[in-house]
Amino acid sequence: MNAMLHTIEFVGVLAFACSGFIEARRKRMDFVGVFTVAFITAFGGGTLRDLLLDRRPLFWVENQEYPILIFIFALIAVPLLRRLRHVVTENILEWADALGLGLFSVTGTSLAFESGMPMFVCVMMGVVTGIFGGVLRDVICNEIPLVFRRSQLYATCAFTGCWVYLGMSYFEFSDAAALSAGIISTFALRMLAVKFDLKLPA
């Protein structure tokens, strides 16, 4: 279970960093901008959650492998992504991003729950963990955050997954089962939203 979570985390961090990388390149940023935006997209949500919950040390402060990984990624991303063009398709990125969204949101909720927060706040913390990296990416890139515009369900998927997790915890399922169910329901709902172009009503 733990190994699987670490794999998802790794995949999710890379997918988030990738989306920051692509946005920063589109804005013609140089290496400093590309690295910073990729980093903030990957870790902004979790960092904001930890600031709000007053948890220290921050995830990426304790594990400097991740900042270094993104630093190297930002250095080699252009040739790497060109070479892997046929492997890393938009489709794969959507999958990886949805997995990351599920994992970050559900574990964010779980951390808030352990700190004794009330239910609705736990879900908010989970959604913040999942989506605020992307929000900060768009604010820095001088765009209205994509996740707030009328686009395919995204925050809503995280919101649902977090309630699934809390619900299963409430009925005393094992933590592994609740985590998996939360991540899978976020992932599945997000994939459905992409496939069938599901949006919230205006």
What does the binding site for a second copy look like in residue numbers (CB under 8 A)?
A: 24, 27-33, 36-37, 47, 51-52, 54, 56, 58, 60-61, 64, 67-68, 71, 117-121, 124, 135, 139-145, 147-151, 154-156, 199-202
Residue 135: CA atoms inside 13 Å, Cβ hemisphere, count?
A: 16
Q: What does each C-alpha distance from 79 to 20, 74, 105, 184 come to in angstroms?
A: 17, 10, 31, 33
CB of 88 to a second copy, least distance (A): 21
Bridge partners of 152, per DSSP, are 199
CB of 67 to a second copy, least distance (A): 6
CB of 54 to a second copy, least distance (A): 5
Q: Which residues contact 55 (CB under 8 A, 6 or more apart)?
A: 49, 111, 115
Selection from 98, 163, 96, 94 nearest residue 125 by Cα: 163
Question: Would you say 27 or 83 has its CB closer to a second copy?
Answer: 27
Question: Would you say 114 or 143 has its CB closer to a second copy?
Answer: 143
CB of 84 to a second copy, least distance (A): 20
In the block, tokens 């709000």 appear at 52
Question: Would you say 35 or 180 has its CB closer to a second copy?
Answer: 35
